[in-house]
Structures are given as structure tokens and as C-alpha cells.
Structure 1
């Protein structure tokens, strides 16, 4: 089959009567919300009434062994079957979570993902599950959705990735037999988008109503705005802000005229788009100073400043001290905060290490 062609089970024009099979891989420290939201929509869409039987679709939690996998909140879920014993699936769903605590996906898990990619299965990466798909080498030539929160983590871990293929301003991306999702509540939206390819709309809408979800987000819906800057409610401005985060220091592909953008930005944030973009660039520079060992010159270049002196002048206006001093003062605090997070996640029953 030509990889550019849609999988037969993915045609939105002809819902299939065949039961759709989902294999779900839980990575260490996975996010429980992302997993439960996805599975609950499958469960409620699979059967008539309130029986939750796997009639229209089935799902199985699969793993390298049957040893329980711990979620980031401490709850443990044991796989139902191992990779070796699992039947073929139409969708392989990889659910991730915390990046900086605990082990990553094992080589056995990555090998299973590669085998699934060589079959006709569609691969789905939810939350940081997309990192494991990338490690497995199965996302080449595809657009990739990542949470804005993990955008720079992704760039740092995969420096050779084509940044034009990265999408951090949408809830999820469907690109042929690869589906990537930012995580959280968006796992419900991506599950609905998948099921709508196979089931009648009323079936999926019923499941959403039971979950008290009154608005289904499509793949072009913007992710919630990053913290630290004034929120916006207009969807075009939300998307513009997220694009500023994603394309720091580069021109933005916005579908608004300059006059319309200026008017909407001032109405939504109280700032002109240029001033808002500068704040985004400076906040990104501050984050890089405390979370990376890049030089000030490198940070200036990656954040759209002409040189280190230009960054230094603007940085002092914003933060009241030069970049080097900011790094010295805040770097120690950031390192301590990361230590506390890892300590809490590794030893949930103990007091904070402060």
C-alpha cells in the first residue's frame, strides 16, 4: 500500500461494520487523564445502552511484560497481554506523561512500535507518547503535534527534526497513518475524531454527552494559551500567540491582515502584536537561560535578537538585570525545583526534599 494513501479503515466516507481494535501502550509515569479520557470514549461508543461491551470496538492494554505500569499520579495499571501474545490491531495508542522522572520507553517497546508501523496499523501518540514514536523512528515525513509545554523539550531531544513539521498550536494532528495529540482533555477529542471515521456521528455524540463534553474540539482547535502572558479568547489570537511560542524570532504564517491583527490583539491582550511577540521572545530567552547551557549569543540568535548585546538591552528592561546574572540567580532555583519534582514523583509517600 502506498503510505500516502489512507488506510482502508480510516475512510471517513464509509463507516466500517468491522470491530475496530485498539492496542494501548502505557509508558512509565503516563498521564492518567489522557489514558482514561481516550478509553472512556471507546467504552461508551462501543455498545448500545449502558453495558460498555466491546461490540463496535475493542481495546487492550499491552506491554513488554504484565508488570504494572505506574501513572504520574501513583496509580498502577497492569497490561492485559504482552506484545508477543497480542493480536494485530488497527490502532496502536502510545500514552506518555512525565518526561523528567523515571525510565523512558524500553527498546522492546520501541521495537514493537516499529513492527506496528510496518503493518497497516495507525500509530497514535498521546501527550509525550509522541517522543517515543519519534525515538522509534516512525514519524519521518509526517506532521507532529506536541504540547506547547514540551515544544522546546522536543527540539532539544531531537535537534535534527524539521521544525516546520512540528505543530504546537493545535490539539492534535492526523497525518495519514500517524496521529499525534497534545494530551490531557485532547485525548477525548482525538478518540472522537478516530471513531467518527468508523461509526455514525450520533454514536460518538452520545458518548460525548455521557462524559458531559458539550463541545468537540476539531484538530484545528488551538491549544490553551501558555501561562505568563495575558489570555485571549478570540481563536485567531489564541492561535497567533501559540505560533509566536512555536516560531520564536521568525515571521508568522498568520491568516489575518496587519490592521485586523493589530485591532484584535489590542482588544484581547491590551498590547500590540509586536510588543506581545517581544514578551514571548524574552520569556523564552529567560527559560533557556535557566534550563539549558546555551551561550547568551546562541539564545539571542534562537529567540530572534540580532546579537547578545541586543538581547542584553531588552532583557534588562524586562527583568531588571543582565542575562548572565539572571542565569546565576535563577538557575539555582530552577535546579532545586527540578530536584523536588523528581523526588516527589519517585517517592510519593515522602515529604518534599526542601
Structure 2
């Protein structure tokens, strides 16, 4: 496996203090894409050229212990400081990067509780990136806050924390001293926003061309790729695009197709006609397939019970859920769960 070492640069340091300092905390099996996206945006904004000098912003990497933490892809990252060595007064933000499994992010919460609670008590802004939102929620750090959650894990988050206000239609959310980010390349937009608040917009945007990023996305940017497949052409029909987005947001809600059509400003007959013309299936069939696809993924990627997963896709009757699932896939949910590999 590869080892990713923190950069060491023999560069000239500015006499002045950085505008903003970040403490980066990668959790076990953290995902490299959001971590790398966030860190590289800091790097490009850190000095006037491209020498990675930590002049205008600075960062350190910390964890439970010094040594290594392994990413979801198997790459090893060197951790500079243990929590015991960290002087929290030196930082403005603690940014925690989560991993692939929401279950694991919840299970490790107790290990990170003393440090994160201490950081919160000292008034630092705490950011949860990707599935680190489950860690924060487990510790009560998101109580009373709005939370941006990756669309893949929205239903799982709502099931685990029904009293929290979660949303999958935001790249990131800043709610006072609590920050959440859906993950992926949305970490770039989050880094830009946090940098802009301390260093100004010009420094925050520096280096986007080097990163081959054309422009920044709004906080509520809608992914064009969400729900697309080789047979979908809904990007050419706003009703289809909006309809699929609403379906995904309401997987766990027993919303009728009539109610969905009403939200789109269409009649049920008009919505049926549009879906059949564009996708060759009715909205009811499309929604049912989406629910089964989500249930299948959850069965193979979590330790949740059949009852919990059934509820996530709006089935209150587990036996009926099993019947529909088997009809759709040709095998039972239990068989699917046994074949799944949860890391």
C-alpha cells in the first residue's frame, strides 16, 4: 500500500501570522477525494505563488495517535500530531473527514468524543466532511443544527437521527460554529467559503485554474449526474429532472404520485405521459425501482435491520417489503445481506 506523507517544505515563512489555521482530522477509512480536495485548495491559497508555503493559511494533521491512518482506498496518511500534543488555541477550525461506512463513523465516535467536545467548549468551529456527520450527530454536536448529508446516506441519517434537520440538496451548510459538507469535490467549495471569510475572496479563489476547476458552485448546486444512467435523458426535461430529485428526497416518505405531480405543477396524467415518453416507464415504476435500488445498496453496505431499511424506503410492513424486493431482484433481502461485504 502507498504511504502519503505530509509535505515538508524548506520555504520562507512570513513574519505575520496566517489569516486562518485548520486542524485536519482524518477518521479511520477516510475518503481521499474530499480530504485531497480540501487540502489542495488550502495549499493553493496559502501563498502568492505555487510553493505551498503556509503564509495566509496553515494546517496540521492530527489523530488519536501519531503514526498512520488508512484511507478507504488503502492509502496510508501520516498523522503529525496526537490529540494530546495539539494546542487548540492555535486553530480556527477543526475539520473532520469521514469514511465510507456510516456505521463505522458512529462506532468510533466515543474515541473522538473527549477531543471534539473539548474543541467545542473552547469555541472552535467544527466541520464534519462526508460521513463524519454521523460521528458529530452521535456525539450531539449537531443538536439544533441543519446538516448537509451526502445524498447516498440521507435516508440512513434521517433514520438514525430523526430529530435532526438533514438535507442532501446542499454541498455544505454553515450553521454557526457547526459546519457540514456532503463530501467529494464539495470540499473545494467549503474550503473556498471558509478561506474567503478569513483571507478574502481573492485569496480563496486562487488556484482554481490549476485545479482545472472552471468556476465555483453555489451551496445549493444541483448535481446534473444525480440519477443519470445510460437510458435517462431527463436533463432535457425539467419536469423529469425535478421529479426524480423529489423522488430521491422522499424515499422514506409514503408520498403518492398524485402528490408528487402536484408539487411539480402537473396532473397525474401529465406526469405519467412525460415519464413514459422520456424513460419508457411510469413515475410509479421508476420510484419503486429507485427505492429497491437504495434498499439493495443499504443491505450490502450497513448492519441495519431489515425493519430499519424497509422504513427507509417507505415500507412499514417488513414481510411486504421482502416480497416486493424478491420480485424485483429475484432473491430475498436476507440473501442480499449475506452476500454483501460491509467494511
Shared fold (TM-score greater than 0.5)? yes
Q: Could you say which residue in structure 2 is the equivalent of 1:114?
A: 117
SS at match of 1:114: helix
How high is the TM-score relative to the length of structure 2? 0.75
Partner of 1:25: 25
Q: Which residue of 1 aligns with 2:65?
A: 65
For residue 279 of structure 1, the aligned residue among 279, 285, 289 is 289
- Measured against aligned partners, the alpha-carbon deviations of 1:268-296 in whole angstroms (never above 9, x if no partner) come to 6455544432322343455566664325x
Cα pair distance change 1:84/1:104, threshold 3 Å? same
Give the TM-score normalised by the residue count of structure 1. 0.73
1:245, distance to aligned residue in structure 2 (A): 2.6
What is the alpha-carbon distance in structure 2 between the residues aligned to residue 105 and residue 313 of structure 1?
Answer: 35
Q: Secondary structure at the match of 2:217?
A: coil
- Which ranges of structure 2 fall in alignment gaps of 5 or more residues? 1-16
Q: What is the DSSP-based 3-state SS (H/G/I as helix, E as strand, rest coil) of the residue aligned with 2:61? A: strand
* Residue equivalent to 2:47: 47
Residue 125 of structure 1 aligns to a residue whose secondary structure is strand
Tell me the CA shift for residue 177 of structure 1.
1.9
Task: Report the Cα distance in structure 2 between the residues aligned to 1:287 and 1:268, rounded to whole angstroms.
Answer: 26
- Contact 1:193-1:218 at 8 Å conserved across structures: no
Q: Which residue of 1 aligns with 2:226?
A: 225
Cα distance between partner residues in 1 of 2:263 and 2:40: 36
- Tell me the number of residue pairs that the alignment of Structure 1 and Structure 2 aligns: 312
The corresponding residue for 1:350 is none
Supply the distance in 2 between the matched residues of 1:316 and 1:109 (Cα, whole angstroms).
Answer: 40
Equivalent residue runs for 1:46-195 within 5 Å = 46-87=46-87, 88=89, 89-99=91-101, 105=108, 107-155=110-158, 159-162=160-163, 165-195=165-195
How far apart in 2 are the matches of 1:196 and 1:329? 50
Output the CA distance in 2 between the equivalents of 1:106 and 1:149.
21
| Structure 2 CA distance for partners of 1:202 and 1:236, relative to 1, 3 Å | farther
Q: Deviations over 1:198-235 (max 9, x none)?
A: 33333333321111111322210134425779554368
Q: What value does the CA root-mean-square deviation take over the aligned residues?
A: 3.6
Matching residue of 1:351: none
Separation in 1 of the partners of 2:239 and 2:37? Answer: 27
